[in-house]
A and B are shown apart, each in its own frame.
Chain A
Amino acid sequence: MISQILQGLIKHIDSFLMSCVLFTILVGLFVLFSASGQSFDRVSAQLVNITVALTVMWVAANIPPQHLERIAVPLYALGVILLICVALFGEISHGARRWLDLGITKIQPSEIMRIAVPMMLAWFFSKRESSHRISDFAIAAVLLLVPVALIIKQPDLGTALLISSSGFFVLFLAGLSWRFLIGGAVIIGALLPIFWSMLHDYQRRRIEILIDPSQDPLGAGYHTIQATIALGSGGVTGKGWLNGTQAQLDFLPERTTDFIFAVFGEEFGMIGNLMLLTLFGLIIIRGIIIASQAKSTFTRLLAGSITLTFFTYAFVNIGMVCGILPVVGVPLPLISYGGTSMVTLLLGFGILMSIQTHKKLVASG
């Protein structure tokens, strides 16, 4: 009886994906404890976030993909409307207009778009099955660029980047012609110098610093420099949990959020880093397998996009902490402190599980 209920509860949970995700989250809690200066408050707050996110994941896993397909368009429409509202009436905090006060609660509509955009595009291509007309891609590009433009305007570069990449992955997987891809890359490559020459000196300077933070060691470069010092001084084996001096002594800014990887790398060293990459790699491989086994165009594209967006998260964050990518506000998935990103990520994993488990049911039933 009890085992039956339990069976029912985990029926739609992909055990391999779940194990990897839970293990990563657990590692994240230990890092957070160290990074927050051993604050139990921080850790318990994150536990609340995790609980909420796991619930969302469980719910998503139990919703059959067909239902998701149905809500794709309204969700996207709602997201765009809310983004326009933000642009018009949004609250400004830290110099950016991201939040919308609904009276009861405050929401960040760009977070909705993280999942709504790939769903919308996957839905769009599932309706245009087996057609590869350029016009379809043009429409898809517009569907993608409207929310991205609104988010860039906020400005929230990190989210815009992630949403663009999630949309791009759908377009790519839907069969965007290689010629078009290569041609587009060539055109952008050719236009860049012209674009550069049109910029003002101060704008160029900003971009230069974005690309090479060491030019401004006390300003924008400070984060990256401190992060690379932390990482490098970690060495092969790391300084050990709770022993990272850079992290413990406040040298690292944003060390519980965007720069938490520096704490991890300092305390667990290169071995820890590689293990974390492996963990992420396993999650991505599982996601790719789910996508490749998915039965409908919508689920295929959505699963592929969710998986590759997760990869983008991880790569951009680690790359920025390592100092090989510009600093944009992207958290380390499953590890950085914060409710929103945790919920969005686990929602994505829930959808992946739903795609995987409902396919099985369909196949066996």
Chain B
Amino acid sequence: MRSSTELKNYQNEQHDFKLRLATLGLLVLISFSILATRFYFLQIKRYDYYQTLAENNRISIVPITPNRGLITDRNGVVLAHNFFVYTLEITPSKVDNLDQTIAEIAKLVEVSSFDLKRFNKLKTQSHNFESIPLRTHLNDVEAAKFAVNRFRFPGVELKSRLFRHYPLGKLGAHMIGYIGRINDKDIKNLEAAEVLSNYKGSDHIGKSGLEQSYEKELHGTTGFQQVEIDADGQAVRILSSKAPTSGNNLILSTDIKLQEIAENAFGKRRGALVAIKPNTGEVLAFVSMPTFDPNLFVDGIDVENWRLLNDSIDKPLINRPLRGIYPPGSTFKPFAALAGLEAGKRHPPFSISDAGYFTLPNSSHRYRDWKPGGHGNVDIRRAITISCDTFFYGLAFELGIDRLTSFVRHFGFGEKSGIDINGEISGLLPTPEWKKRRYKQPWYMGETVIVGIGQGYTLVTPMQLAQATAILANKGVAMRPHLVSGISNTKTGVINTISGAASEKINLDEKNLEIVKLGMIDVTLPGGTAASVGADAGYSIAAKTGTAQVIGIKQNEKYDATAIDERHRDHALFIAYAPADDPKIALAVIVENGGHGGSAAGPIARKIMDYYLLGKLPPVEPTPADTKAIAPKPGENVPEEELHD
């Protein structure tokens, strides 16, 4: 029996318990209401937001990289193409111990020190989450070996990738250019051009030459697959897809055989050659020597090869036709002559009596002719033929710098030719204004005098010189020079022809042109400065030789080729067009430190013209080891007449 107080206590306690139970019940209710509110927030209020997130989670757009367009020469010879190769690529961020992983891989497939060096260099240039090639060009056995062991290497992938290849290697490398891995700067450029999305999935981009300037045509349109993926990023199934469109093929105006003949003709010598079809602007050959193998650059060049190329005193990486600047020397004379004739000066039978030097009024300074003692009686035609300096000193002086430069500017001096590769520089055609800007100094009369023979401040690129020659050959009609003559649409098969529509027509008197032409034809005839170049040609060649000083020669010093370090010797220049009466080819050749234009550069031009005009192949090419022997040394076996111009 319970006492009444106990019972009361018990009842109180019961009451308190139920109150507390009810409190907890309220807690449950409140808690569940909070959850319900949260459901409302997530599943109704923010439904759209999470719906989108879920879709993004689930669906991934996988880009399909298009095939890059091919590059062929005018006859269809393939200069750049693609093929599938296996590459072994590592994503550093997915690998715990990189060194160990590479060591393990090396047990399966050969990893050379070259591969390692390139990998390490690319690694420093790339983001950690990017896939970097360790080995390329795995053969089937190696690929199979790795595939079997793939599970051991998370973060390492065997990829079958389209690889760019330049089958002719060094041939025309500066013209064709190369592609390379996309870097941060490229990404910025693509972003600015608003085409970055088209490069999702692309690892490479044109870096130089035509590969760069025609990137838009060559790249193609990236396709994509919309795939459903799981959290590991593994595709579960394809939802939709859009096929990529291959890049367009480039058909060059260049004849690669001509290119080869030209490059072989240079041998080990440095220099540049540009050959143009005057009436169309088609570039037939575009030579920069020495050249390099563009295949080295495709997947990142290794440090060793890079140093070899970049540090070489021969500067093989410089695109000489576009970026090499040289004083035009005497190759400037035909243009100066035309300037004079068009200004009504020096028309035959005007002639001078050359004593071997020119002096300005009220000055004793002698502007010497290359021939001590002078050439005697010289008219304008002969002045071109024998390259009479004295004649042109006087002509330039009488014309004045402004009239001279404003005339020759029409031939492209001091201006970019507009050729379809990037990086061209505009050379220099000096004017008093320019000098004031550049040096804050007045223009001296003596400077005008030496411009007349292509010396002084004047600088030209081989491209400019070739273009000027082409304009001269085309009787003043300037065609835009172009390396690509057609773009073949891989989808429709339609070939879009590119023409070098005339950009300018210089009004020239036919008679004046005839005088200059005759002077230039005489250059390659007996008595001219390049008589040997024209010997037994079977067609007439209008040409001009030139020599550009590398180091200044003091007033009373005599130039002695043999006494000077090979690299300080004069550059040899040569311009020509042929056949002189119906020009099919115009060209400019520069042989660095080659000495005399007629003997060093002329024979190269002759080989080109022989092949292009007559289909004549040069005599059997000497092996590379012998090339030194055929490079004539200035002063040896060369007629005295051709030693200087």
Chain A interface residues toward B at CB < 8 A: 130, 169, 172-173, 175, 226, 228-236, 245-246, 249-251, 265, 269-270, 273-274, 277, 280-281, 284-285, 288, 291-292, 297, 300, 304, 308, 311, 315, 318-319, 322-324
Contact = CB atoms under 8 A, between A and B. Distances in A.
A245 B237 CA distance: 13
Contacts of A281: 28, 32
A250 B231 contact: yes
B249 to A, nearest CB: 41
Contact of A233 (B18, B47, B230): B47
B50 to A, nearest CB: 3
B53 interface: yes
Nearest 3 interchain pairs by C-beta: A232-B50, A233-B54, A250-B230
A311 B40 CA distance: 21
B617 interface: no
B10 interface: yes
A203 B607 CA distance: 81
Contacts of A269: 43
B44 A230 contact: no
B58 A246 contact: yes
A175 B18 CA distance: 11
Contacts of B6: 130
A245 B594 CA distance: 74
B228 interface: yes
Contact of A232 (B31, B34, B42): B42
Given A249-B230, A322-B42, A311 B28 contact: yes
A322 B38 CA distance: 7
A218 B31 CA distance: 29
Contacts of B28: 281, 284, 308, 311, 315
Nearest to B51: A233
Given A234-B43, A284-B28, A251 B230 contact: yes
B535 interface: no
28 contacts: A130-B6, A130-B13, A172-B24, A173-B20, A173-B21, A229-B50, A232-B46, A232-B49, A236-B43, A236-B44, A245-B54, A245-B57, A245-B58, A249-B228, A249-B230, A251-B231, A270-B40, A281-B32, A292-B17, A300-B17, A304-B17, A308-B28, A311-B28, A315-B32, A319-B34, A322-B35, A322-B38, A324-B34
A297 B20 CA distance: 14
Interface of B is mostly: helix
Given A175-B20, A233-B50, A284-B28, A270 B39 contact: yes
A232 B47 contact: yes
A277 B229 contact: no
B311 interface: no
A288 B49 contact: no
Contacts of A130: 6, 9-10, 13
B201 interface: no
B39 A265 contact: yes
Given A228-B50, A229-B50, A235-B47, A315 B24 contact: no
B243 interface: no
B638 interface: no
B53 to A, nearest CB: 5
Given A229-B50, A235-B47, A250 B232 contact: yes
A284 B57 CA distance: 37
Given A277-B35, A318-B35, A292 B21 contact: yes
B59 to A, nearest CB: 9
A201 B13 CA distance: 48
A270 B44 contact: yes
Contacts of A229: 50, 53-54, 57
Given A236-B43, A285-B25, 4 more contacts: A232-B42, A251-B58, A315-B28, A322-B35
Contact of A322 (B16, B24, B39, B49): B39
Interface string B172-197: 00000000000000000000000000
Contacts of A169: 24
Given A245-B58, A249-B58, A265-B39, A232 B51 contact: yes
A81 B282 CA distance: 96
Nearest to A131: B9
A299 to B, nearest CB: 11
A233 B53 CA distance: 8
B303 interface: no
B20 A292 contact: no
Given A249-B58, A249-B229, A231 B42 contact: yes
A174 to B, nearest CB: 8
Contacts of B144: none
A28 to B, nearest CB: 18
Given A175-B13, A232-B50, A233-B53, A319 B20 contact: no
B108 interface: no
Given A173-B20, A281-B28, A319-B35, A246 B57 contact: yes
B360 interface: no
A274 B39 CA distance: 8
Contacts of B53: 229, 232-233
B106 interface: no
B98 interface: no
Contacts of B9: 130
Nearest to B232: A250
B229 A235 contact: no
B24 A308 contact: yes
B36 interface: yes
Nearest to B228: A249
B10 A324 contact: no
Nearest to B38: A322
B502 interface: no
B16 A175 contact: yes
B236 interface: yes
